[in-house]
Amino acid sequence: MRVAVIGGGIIGLCCAYELDRAGAEAVVLERGAAGSGASRGNTGWVCPSFTYPLPGPGIIREGLRGMLRGGGPLAIRPTLDPTFVRWLLGFRRSAARDRWEKGVSALIALNRRTLELFDAYAAAGIDFEMHRSGLLLVATTEAGLASYAALFGELRRLGFEGESRALNSAEAKEREPALAAENLIGGVHAVVDRYVRPESLLEGLAGCLRGRRVELREGVEVAGIEAANGGIRIRTADDALDVDRAVVAAGASSPPLLRRVGVSLPLVGARGYSFTFGGDGLRPQHALYLAEAKVGISAYEDSVRVAGVFELGHSSDRLNRRRLRAMLATVEPYFEDWRPAEETALLEWAGLRPMTADGLPLIGRAPALENVYVATGHGMLGVTLAPATAALLAPLVLEGRSAPELAPFDPARRA
């Protein structure tokens, strides 16, 4: 069976890997270079402990605050675009507590094999950088620490079983020497979590696929998708490709294709930023989440990445350096001597993460076109959820077997 995967980001490459492993002839169509999209510049967290839908109680108020003050880690940019207005209304409805709790339960179930799957990737010879040291959340205020302690408590109540440990400021400092203990209230060590260097994972997957003779067609812009000859015809600017099945996994570029295959749940891009710095000197050595700043940090073998900001209402991945610098300013109070704002970055990055109105990805059959499947809308959880998404979707695509874990992510649902 020949299956086209539209999109060569983390979701698309994982889907191609699982489809090929199951015996399909997979073809990846990517408008840029494989692995060059939104996942490339993020922290690479594999974080079951931090997996929950973005729309939840209080999130709208926080976003509007960011809009009014023109900054902050979460901001909603006013726009009258009808799709975005419809998305925002659905986002608001999805922020109700009962819907948030159902979303958490669905994501916990989807994540059940996540760590096992990453270990399987490594065992299969996919070459990528992975750290198993957990994720350390630190806070400078009682309120900041209490809000996340309450969140972790809610996740445990809803079925999450991963280990986490409360730390005082001295214990947090002992675990991460770069921290300024005198400025901290304490923290939480999410022991089960991991992180990867996302570029290395993307390159490792792409290299593995090429080694298995999976075709990666780069620089291909998909113009349309339609039924043809009992299968699917994918039209590009220069050609057409006939396949038996197709998977739409094009991230924030998916909406035009989603409309063609009957997906009515609106999906928009949320812009995020990162800086990557050289790895010398007294700087973080682990994965950190700074509670009040809402900034994530990953320490890789040769560099450190600082990532944050969630801007809604933007359609481009253009860098806003004022935003970048403001993000760095919120980082410095957490550290003893590290002053990233005074350093020259190796990489400044911005990207659009695909967000659905209810904060849950779209995974499953397309509503209006037989033999087309959808795997997109993973928001900030692309790296965490990609292997599980692919492992559950491949049997559905190839054999028609739908796992119960996929039911909450049905592309035919409404916000």
For the chain, give the percent of residues with pLDDT over 90: 78
Report the pLDDT value the prediction gives residue 38, as an integer from 0 to 100.
Answer: 83
Mention every residue, 6+ apart, whose C-beta is less than 8 A from residue 167. 136, 175, 186, 187, 188, 189
Report the pLDDT value the prediction gives residue 324, as an integer from 0 to 100.
Answer: 80
- pLDDT by residue for the chain (415 residues), tens digit each? 999 999 999 999 999 999 999 999 999 999 999 988 888 899 999 999 999 999 987 665 554 454 445 556 666 776 778 888 899 899 989 999 999 999 999 999 999 999 999 999 999 999 999 999 999 999 999 999 999 999 999 999 999 999 999 999 999 999 999 999 999 999 999 999 999 999 999 999 999 999 999 999 999 999 999 999 899 999 998 899 999 999 999 999 999 999 999 999 999 999 899 999 997 778 999 999 999 999 999 999 999 999 998 887 767 777 777 888 888 899 999 999 999 988 889 999 999 999 999 999 999 999 999 999 999 999 999 999 999 999 999 999 999 999 999 999 999 998 7
Q: What is the 3-state secondary structure (H, E, C) of 131-192?
A: ECCCEEEEECCHHHHHHHHHHHHHHHHCCCCCCEEEEEHHHHHHHCCCECHHHCCEEEEECC
Q: How far is CA 19 from CA 12, 14, 177, 245, 298, in A?
A: 10, 9, 44, 11, 31
Report the pLDDT value the prediction gives residue 78, as an integer from 0 to 100.
Answer: 66
pTM of the model: 0.94
Token reading at 360 = 């849950």
pLDDT per residue as tens digits for the range 73-108? 666 776 778 888 899 899 989 999 999 999 999 999
Helix (DSSP H) and strand (DSSP E) numbers for the chain: 11, 21
pLDDT per residue as tens digits for the range 277-296? 997 778 999 999 999 999 99
pLDDT per residue as tens digits for the range 378-410? 999 999 999 999 999 999 999 999 999 999 999
- In a 13 Å sphere around the CA of 233, the CA atoms on its Cβ side amount to 8
Report the pLDDT value the prediction gives residue 61, as an integer from 0 to 100.
Answer: 56
